[in-house]
A and B are shown apart, each in its own frame.
Chain A
C-alpha cells in the first residue's frame, strides 16, 4: 500500500476551518461531500468473530444506533475538535448530557457541588430529580471560589458550573475553580452552552469535562434538541478511589476496567458503551445532521450574535424604562473583567434586564414585541424574549429565582441576527407601550 497524501498541519488549523471540516471527510464510497444522514438502526457484522470483537470493545465500529451512529459520530468529533477535547458523546438533549455525565462518575450516596446560578432547568434536575438516584447536589455561590472549597466533602465527586450562566450575564472564574477541583481530585464540569467553544475554551482553563445543550447556538436555528458531553482526556480517574465506574472492574462489562483499557479514551468509551447503552438517551441522526449544519457557521453567527447583543445591552442601559441591565459585555457589569479573560471575543447573546414597574410591566413588554419571539429557548438566529420568573424558572423558590438572576422584574433576551436597528426599535416600542 503506498502512503496516502498526508496533512500534518491538521492540528494547527484555525477554528473556522475546523468548524466546517472536523470529523467530516468525504464519504469514501460515493464521494458525497455533505455528511450523509445515516437513518439506520443496525450494522452488519463481517462474521461472528467481528461481532464478538465489537461487543467486547476490542475493535472500533458500529453495532446499534442506541450506542453509536455514523452521522452522530461526525458531530461528536466536530464538537470534540472544537473544544480541543479527546472525545465527545452526543445525546438526546442538554439535560440528557448532564445525566450521562454524572452517571459515569456518581454512585448512590455521592454528592457534587454546583453553582447556584445555573439554568433553572438544571437546578431543578440536580436538586429534585437527581435525588431519586440518591445523588446530592450542593448549590453554592461560586463568585467566591472559596465557597466551593468550603463545601467540599469526602463523597463529593465533581464541581459543576456554567462558563457563562443562563440567564444572568454571570461569568465563572474557571481557572480558580479548576485549581480547587484539582486539589480535591474531582473533575470540573463546565456547561459551555451559552458561550460555545468559539467564545470560551474551558479545557484551556483546566476544566475536565464540558457539557452542551446543542439545542442552542451549536445548532443555531431552533431546529433540533440535543446535547453533548466532551472529555478533555486529561483527568486521571485512578488518582483516588472515587471513580469506580471508570477505574475499577465494570460488572456490566465482565470486569473490564475502562481507564486501564482505554486510558484517555475511557470516559467517552464508557459514555457510549455503558451510558447510552443503558440510559438510552440517544441523539437522532437527523438532529445530528442539522446541528452539523449549524456548526459550519458557528463563528460567523457568534460574532454577529455578540455584536448585536452588546449593542442592545448598551441601548437598554440608557433607556428610560429600564431599571438595570445584566450583561457581561457592559463595562458596568461586575463580570466584565472575567468575561474579557474567559471569552475575549464576546460575552454571548443572552442577557437579562429589569423593567421599571416589575412583574406586570415585564409581562407586557414581552407581549408587545413584534419581532422578538416569546418562547423558552436561546441561541436561535431569531431574537427571543422571555420572562423567566413566570416560565423557565417557575419551579424554583422565590429565593432560588433571585439567586439565579430570575427575579420578578427580569426579562431575558437571546439576541438574534436580524438587522440591529430593527431589534432595538422593537424593544423600544415594546418598552414604551408597556410603561404607558
Chain B
C-alpha cells in the first residue's frame, strides 16, 4: 500500500489501518518521569496491548513501566513495526534515517512523529524507502479518538456513525 498525498491531514481510515496493523513500538525519547507526555503515551499504549520498547540514551539500562530502556533503535534485540519519535523536528530527521537503515532487519513499517514534530524531508526519505509516515499526531490521542475514548472527556472526535460497534464482553 502506497504512502499518502500530503501530511496536513490524515483520513480516519488511514490512521485506523496503521494503528490496527502494528503490534510493537520503539518509543524514542521515552521519559522515566511519570508526568511527562511520553510516559502517558507509553502507559496508554501498553494498556491497549502494544509492546513498547523505550529508547533513551540517558536512561539506558534502567526500566520504564517494566520495559528495559535501550540507548538506540539498533540496540533493541526484537523486531518492532513502528518508531514513535518524541524528539524535536530536527532530531527526528536523524532518527528517521536510523529507522530507514534498520527497516529490513527490524521489520519496521511506520515512522510516527509526535504532536508538533514534523520533518517533511525525512518523511520523503522514509516514504522512498517504503515506510509509512505520520507526523504531528499522537498515537494515544488518535487511538482514543477512533475508539470513542476521547469522547468520554468531552472531546470532539469528529467520528459520526450510526453503526453499532462490536465489543467483546467479558
Contacts and interface: CB of A to CB of B under 8 A. Distances in A.
B162 A268 contact: no
Given A8-B12, A29-B169, A58 B43 contact: yes
Leading 10 A-B pairs by shortest Cβ distance: A76-B154, A60-B149, A6-B13, A80-B156, A87-B155, A28-B165, A10-B160, A8-B11, A26-B164, A28-B167
Given A21-B162, A260-B37, A80 B155 contact: yes
B119 interface: no
21 contacts: A3-B16, A6-B11, A11-B158, A25-B164, A26-B163, A28-B165, A31-B164, A53-B43, A53-B47, A57-B40, A59-B47, A60-B150, A73-B151, A73-B153, A81-B156, A87-B154, A261-B37, A265-B141, A268-B153, A269-B153, A272-B154
B154 A268 contact: yes
B164 A28 contact: yes
B156 A87 contact: yes
A383 B43 CA distance: 54
Contacts of A76: 154-155
Contacts, number: 136
Interface string A85-106: 1111110000000000000000
Given A61-B149, A85-B156, 11 more contacts: A5-B161, A13-B160, A25-B159, A26-B162, A53-B43, A59-B43, A60-B152, A60-B153, A77-B155, A90-B154, A261-B35
Contact of A10 (B12, B151, B155): B12
Interface in B133-153: 138, 141, 144, 148-153
Given A60-B152, A87-B153, A261-B40, A81 B167 contact: no
Given A68-B152, A87-B153, A255-B35, A81 B158 contact: yes
Given A8-B11, A61-B149, A265-B141, A21 B156 contact: no
A23 B158 CA distance: 8
Most chain B CB within a 10 A radius of its CB, from A18, A58, A62: A58
B166 A28 contact: yes
Nearest to B9: A11
Contact of A21 (B36, B115, B152, B160): B160
B72 interface: no
A254 interface: yes
A44 interface: no
Contacts of B155: 76-77, 80, 86-87, 265, 268
Interface in B5-26: 11-13, 16-17, 20
Interface string B51-86: 000000000000000000000000000000000000
A74 interface: yes
Nearest to A27: B164
Contacts of A60: 144, 149-150, 152-153
Interface of B: 11-13, 16-17, 20, 34-37, 39-40, 43-44, 47, 115-116, 138, 141, 144, 148-167, 169
Contacts of A13: 160
A280 interface: no
A68 B47 contact: no
Interface of A: 1, 3-8, 10-11, 13, 17-18, 21-23, 25-26, 28-29, 31, 33, 50, 53, 56-62, 68, 70, 72-74, 76-77, 80-81, 84-90, 253-257, 260-261, 263, 265, 268-269, 272
Given A77-B155, A265-B141, A6 B12 contact: yes
A10 B161 contact: yes
Given A8-B12, A10-B12, A77 B160 contact: no
Contacts of A28: 164-167
Nearest to A32: B164
B17 A3 contact: yes
Contacts of B44: 53, 58-59
Contact of B161 (A25, A70, A265, A268): A25
Given A6-B12, A18-B160, A68 B154 contact: yes
Contacts of A254: 35
A283 to B, nearest CB: 11
A286 to B, nearest CB: 18
A142 to B, nearest CB: 28
A88 B154 contact: yes
A272 B155 CA distance: 11
Contacts of B158: 10-11, 81
Contact of A5 (B39, B144, B163): B163
Contacts of A21: 160-162
Contacts of A68: 152-154
Contacts of A31: 164
